[in-house]
């Protein structure tokens, strides 16, 4: 009876579901996987979007259904909730490390982004050469969750996963 | 008007503001003055469309007639749309787009902020989710107001012209009608008089920094909230709704 499967087993399966836009991050790393629970024979997976208009959500939902179906879980419902609203503080430490290795500067804390909003330097570290001598080029980058930076030492542009 | 009808209207107004603003911003795709700004506008457009989906989905739930958010977006006509006249105004030049964004984003920020205290938890949740995104929009707009207002003589002139042209659509941001009053009485909606105070302070501060003059409050155009629109909305809908109306079974 699948209804008796351990929740940890489900988490292991979902540990392979990644964000299609940042494929080094699993949905667990991102902090968008909120809850896994059984309601009778039905497995309920609750997720939350990063941004309201995140185009990856529909795909992530599909991948969750797919990953669970591959392991024999057919009676699944993926629910999306808005509250509590996702924040970058939910990114795991592991996720932050993977982001930097992938070439995206991980988010600082909310107070740092307030500094950026006020036009001050928040010392975003270049993911390539680790210099903090960097400059914001645009508050909006290649996807809704990123800002565009450039490193003044190694001269490379890079994405910064901005705080929300 | 029943409370349920008022709530449905209220949600349509919020959702339609996001939807039409999002569509207008999306028209810049591939036409931005430089790549970074093209990308910025499309990111903002996406935020608006995402928020519109949340608001209109809730509107459908309240209405209880088994319509979906897509039905609302693609199968209503001009008179059924409830967005503010400001957001349907044409993109014009870069300055027109920025000024329209500045007036709306500043309002939208204080409006959404007040909505986070709504007694209706679904409304409060969507507002909370939207607010941080809107704060990025507001900041972006204000930044450009200062940069171009206090820029070259030409950029200053264009920004002041845009401000003078669009100012008559700013009055509608704060008009309270029956729907607003019912929602306010139940602590579901927002007191637009309070929003006005915050908007005024914020807008005045930015305009001063941008060396732009606040136009005098003269005749204000209104009607969008009750379905009386400028001629521009029809053209937006013609483009936005063409595909799902011509090919009703089309799927991504
Ligand atoms: Zn570097």
Q: Considering the domain boundaries, does residue B251 fall inside one?
A: no
Q: Considering the domain boundaries, does residue B13 fall inside one?
A: yes
Least confident of A1-10, A57-66, A152-161, B44-53: A1-10
- A110: pLDDT strictly greater than 70: no
Domain boundaries, chain A: 7-86, 89-161
Say how many Å lie between the CA of residue B142 and the centre of ligand 1: 30
Cβ of B126 within 8 Å of Cβ of A54? The answer is no
Question: What are the beta bridge partners of residue A134?
Answer: A151
Mean pLDDT (chain B) is 96
Say how many Å lie between the CA of residue A134 and the centre of ligand 1: 8
Neighbour count for residue B177 (Cβ, 10 Å): 11
Q: What is the pLDDT of residue A55?
A: 83
Instruction: Report the complex ipTM.
Output: 0.84
Domain count, chain B: 1
What gap in Å lies between CA B58 and CA B74, rounded to an integer? 16
Kindly report each contact of residues B53-56 with a partner whose C-beta sits within 8 Å and lies 24 or more positions away, as own/partner.
Answer: B53/A52, B53/A53, B54/A52, B54/A82, B54/B126, B54/B129, B54/B130, B55/B11, B55/B14, B55/B15, B55/B18, B55/B126, B56/B11, B56/B12, B56/B15, B56/B19
Q: Which CATH code for domain A7-86?
A: 3.30.300.130
Over pLDDT 90: what percentage of chain A?
A: 66
Higher pLDDT, B218 or A123: B218
Say how many Å lie between the CA of residue A87 and the centre of ligand 1: 27
Residues shown for chain A: 164
Q: Considering the domain boundaries, does residue B173 fall inside one?
A: yes
Measured CB to CB, residues of chain A less than 8 Å from chain B are: 49, 51-55, 82-83, 85, 117, 137-144, 148, 164
Contacts of B132 in chain A (CB under 8 A): 85, 164
Q: Considering the domain boundaries, does residue B252 fall inside one?
A: no
Distances (CA, A) of A146 to A54, A149, B32, B101: 12, 10, 19, 21
- A4: pLDDT strictly greater than 80: no
Query: Tens of pLDDT along B181-232?
Result: 999 999 999 999 999 999 999 999 999 999 999 999 999 999 999 999 999 9
Sheet of A146-151, strand order:
A104-105, A157-161, A146-151, A134-138
Q: Considering the domain boundaries, does residue B75 fall inside one?
A: yes
- A2: pLDDT strictly greater than 60: no
Q: Considering the domain boundaries, does residue B85 fall inside one?
A: yes
- DSSP letters, B16-53, are HHHHHHHHHHHTTTTT-SSHHHHHHHHHHHHHHHHHHH
Say whether residue B139 is in contact with chain A using an 8 A CB cutoff.
yes
Q: Considering the domain boundaries, does residue B160 fall inside one?
A: yes
CATH number, domain with residue B188: 1.20.1260.10
Range of the domain at B46: 3-246
Backbone angles phi, psi at A128, to 5 degrees: -90, -60
User: Nearest CB to B50: which of A53, A83, A141?
Assistant: A53
Cβ of A52 within 8 Å of Cβ of B129? The answer is yes
Q: Considering the domain boundaries, does residue B134 fall inside one?
A: yes
Query: Tens of pLDDT along B45-86?
Result: 999 999 999 999 999 999 999 999 999 999 999 999 999 999
Burial class (CB in 10 A: 0-12, 13-18, 19+), B115: buried
Mean pLDDT (chain A) is 88
User: Nearest CB to B129: which of A82, A143, A144?
Assistant: A82
pLDDT confidence of A1, banded at 50, 70, 90?
very low
What gap in Å lies between CA A153 and CA B76, rounded to an integer? 54
- Residue of chain A with shortest Cα separation from B55: A52
Contacts of B121 in chain A (CB under 8 A): 83
| Peptide bond just before A84 cis, omega within 30 deg | yes
């Amino acid at each position: 009876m699948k209804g008796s499967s351990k929740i940890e087993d489900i988490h292991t399966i979902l540990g392979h579901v990644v964000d299609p836009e940042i494929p080094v991050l699993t949905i667990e790393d991102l902090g968008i996987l909120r809850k896994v629970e059984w309601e009778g024979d039905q497995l309920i997976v609750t997720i939350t979007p990063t941004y309201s208009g995140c185009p990856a959500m529909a795909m992530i939902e599909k991948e969750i259904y797919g990953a669970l179906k591959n392991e024999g879980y057919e009676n699944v419902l993926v629910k999306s909730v808005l509250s509590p609203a996702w924040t970058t503080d939910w990114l795991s430490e592991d996720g932050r490390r993977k982001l930097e290795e992938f070439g995206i500067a991980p988010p600082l804390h909310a107070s740092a982004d307030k500094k950026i909003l006020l036009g001050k330097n928040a010392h975003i570290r270049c993911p390539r050469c680790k210099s903090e001598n960097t400059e914001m080029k645009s508050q909006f980058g290649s996807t809704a969750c990123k800002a565009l930076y450039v490193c003044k030492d190694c001269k490379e542009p890079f994405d910064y996963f901005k705080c929300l | 008007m029943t409370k349920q009808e008022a709530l449905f209207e209220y949600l349509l107004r919020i959702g339609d503001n996001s939807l039409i603003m999002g569509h207008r911003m999306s028209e810049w795709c591939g036409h931005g003055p430089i790549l970074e700004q093209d990308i910025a506008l499309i990111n903002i457009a996406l935020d608006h469309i995402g928020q519109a989906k949340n608001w209109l989905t809730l509107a459908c739930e309240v209405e209880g007639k088994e319509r979906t958010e897509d039905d609302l977006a693609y199968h209503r006509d001009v008179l059924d749309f409830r967005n503010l006249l400001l957001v349907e105004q044409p993109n014009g030049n870069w300055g027109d787009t920025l000024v329209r964004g500045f007036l709306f984003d500043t309002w939208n920020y204080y409006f959404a902020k007040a909505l986070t205290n709504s007694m209706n938890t679904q409304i409060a949740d969507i507002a909370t989710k939207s607010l941080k995104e809107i704060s990025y929009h507001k900041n972006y707009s204000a930044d450009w107001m200062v940069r171009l207002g206090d820029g070259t003589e030409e950029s200053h002139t264009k920004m002041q012209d845009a401000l003078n042209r669009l100012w008559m659509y700013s009055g509608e941001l704060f008009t309270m009608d029956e729907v607003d009053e019912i929602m306010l009485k139940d602590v579901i909606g927002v007191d637009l008089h309070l929003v006005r105070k915050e908007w005024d302070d914020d807008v005045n501060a930015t305009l001063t920094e941008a060396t732009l003059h606040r136009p005098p409050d003269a005749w204000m155009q209104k009607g969008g909230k009750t379905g009386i629109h400028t001629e521009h909305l029809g053209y937006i809908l013609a483009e936005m709704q063409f595909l799902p109306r011509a090919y009703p079974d089309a799927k991504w």
